[in-house]
Homo-oligomer: A and B are copies of this chain.
């Protein structure tokens, strides 16, 4: 296809990242990891790495102004970044906040966004150190850049899974995707539990404490957060580690609310759990011989729960053992903002 006529929607976000990720490094001093994981990694400084991430939220792409209140929008803009910090096993330290706001917007919207951000800073013990505030013509845009830290020996990457590792996830999947469908009007349940799903979508709690627990244990090999969907993000672990995975449908954790909803509205809850995205749970792999030790450490549930999903295998496929026993290869398709 003629380059001049190609659009981003033709190659997608991941295709574009592949295109631009070369020739990005001209200072190797303190550079540990560039593009390719949940966070970039620099250091070490005093036996810790600093980890860096950034996320954009764009009006009418990531959120609809009428559907989310400004305080929750401020929280979500922090949460999606906190989840990247959690995925490396880190804790947040400092953020920079950029906001472009329509010239005509009432001040209380901006104040609400900052209120939500500051509440998040307070709850997770980190700072807003600066930023940029600008007018926009007609749509709101928030970018947060977040710096965290993680002890050098505890950092977890996505590309270190090994054959035989057990795969775990930190919580039920699919609720966020159901909430998004309700917001889009694609799913209209008659029951009164819509708020639960919309909250799961708009305020996915970042798993900082859980991630620190996994990292501190020193037992895991690889970790990632589920932003693109279970299959897509397990795909990232597999692809970067040069391996495949086998998961068991009956092991995929679903909330009671999602099970009930899927009966009421008649849809496949597993489809949402596998491909929905934006759950922001942590997905990680643990050598089989260390799995029982880790499960022992988490059995009181105080730092979260472990949900085993399956195991890392050779090859380059993600296979799922269905409830009836048959095995099928899952197609990796993630959420793509350009499609």
Q: Which residues of A are at the interface with B, using a C-beta cutoff of 8 A? A: 3-11, 13, 16-17, 19-20, 23-27, 29-31, 33-35, 39-40, 42-43, 45-46, 50, 52-56, 58-62, 92-94, 96, 98, 100-101, 103-108, 110-111, 114, 118, 121-122, 124-137, 139, 141, 143, 145, 147, 337-338
Contact = CB atoms under 8 A, between A and B. Distances in A.
Given A40-B94, A122-B26, A129 B35 contact: yes
Contacts of A50: 50
A16 B62 CA distance: 25
Contact of A25 (B26, B30, B127): B127
B56 A100 contact: yes
Given A40-B94, A98-B56, A108 B35 contact: no
Given A58-B134, A129-B34, A111 B40 contact: no
Given A3-B108, A61-B135, 8 more contacts: A16-B107, A16-B133, A31-B129, A40-B129, A42-B94, A50-B50, A61-B134, A143-B145
B127 A52 contact: no
A6 B109 CA distance: 10
Contacts of A93: 27, 29-30, 42
Looking at chain A's contact residues, the main secondary structure is mixed
Contacts of A101: 8
- Which 5 residue pairs of A and B lie closest in terms of their CB atoms, listed nearest first? A40-B129, A145-B145, A45-B45, A24-B128, A143-B143
Contacts of A143: 54, 56, 98, 132, 143, 145
A145 B54 contact: yes
A137 B61 contact: yes
A128 B145 CA distance: 14
A19 to B, nearest CB: 7
A21 to B, nearest CB: 9
A27 B126 contact: yes
B135 A338 contact: yes
A61 B133 CA distance: 12
A94 B128 CA distance: 19
A13 B103 contact: no
A8 B103 contact: yes
A244 to B, nearest CB: 26
A129 B8 contact: no
Contact of A108 (B4, B127, B129): B4
Contacts of A127: 24-27, 31, 34
